[in-house]
Structure 1
Amino acid sequence: MELTIAVLEELAATLCPDIRLLDCVNRCAGYSDQAHLFTGETVLHTDINPANTLICGYGAHFIDWAWPIRGASWVEPAIWVIRLIDAGHTPASAETWAGKLRTWDTAPAESLTAFAHVNAHMWDEIAEQAPQGSNWQKHMAASAHAWADHREEADRWT
Structure 2
Amino acid sequence: MGVDRRGWTALPPQVRRAVEAHTGSPVVVEPVGSGANSAIAAVVHGPDGPVFVKGLPVDHRQAWTQDREAAIAPHLAGVAPQMLWRVRLEGWDLIGWEHISGRRADFSPGSPDLPLVAELLRLLAERPCPDVPLKPVARWREHVEDPGELDLLDGTALAHTDLNPGNVLVADDGRAVLVDWAWPTRAAAWIDAACWVVWLIASGHTPASAERWAATIPAWKRADEQALGVFATVQARLWAGIATEAAPWTGRVASAAARWQEHRL
TM-score (norm 1): 0.91
SS in 1 for 2:180: coil
- Tell me what 2:160 maps to: 45
- Deviation sequence 1:45-70 (CA, Å, 0-9, x none): 11112211111214111011111111
Aligned partners of 1:121 and 1:53: how far apart in 2? 24
Matches within 5 A, 1:84-99: 84-99=200-215
- Deviation sequence 1:111-140 (CA, Å, 0-9, x none): 00110001100001111121xxx2111111
Paired positions, count:
148
Stretches of structure 2 that go unaligned for 5 or more consecutive residues are 1-113
- Tell me what 1:110 maps to: 226
Which structure features the higher share of strand residues? Answer: 2
SS in 1 for 2:162: coil
Structure 1 letter corresponding to 2:199 = R
- Tell me what 1:27 maps to: 139
Aligned partners of 2:197 and 2:154: how far apart in 1? 19
Larger CA deviation: 113-122 vs 12-21: 12-21
Aligned partners of 2:126 and 2:170: how far apart in 1? 20
- Which of 111, 114, 126 is residue 13 of structure 1 equivalent to? 126
- Tell me what 2:170 maps to: 55
The structure whose Rg is larger is 2
Aligned partners of 1:136 and 1:103: how far apart in 2? 29
Q: Does 1:150 align with 2:259?
A: no
Which structure features the higher share of helix residues? Answer: 1
Aligned partners of 2:257 and 2:161: how far apart in 1? 14
**Considering only aligned residues, what root-mean-square deviation do their CA atoms show, in Å?**
0.9
Structure 1 letter corresponding to 2:134 = L
- Deviation sequence 1:39-96 (CA, Å, 0-9, x none): 1111111111221111121411101111111100000000000000000000000001
Larger CA deviation: 29-38 vs 93-102: 29-38
Q: Does 1:77 align with 2:193?
A: yes
Shift of 1:15: 2.3
User: Identity rate of aligned residues, in percent?
Assistant: 41
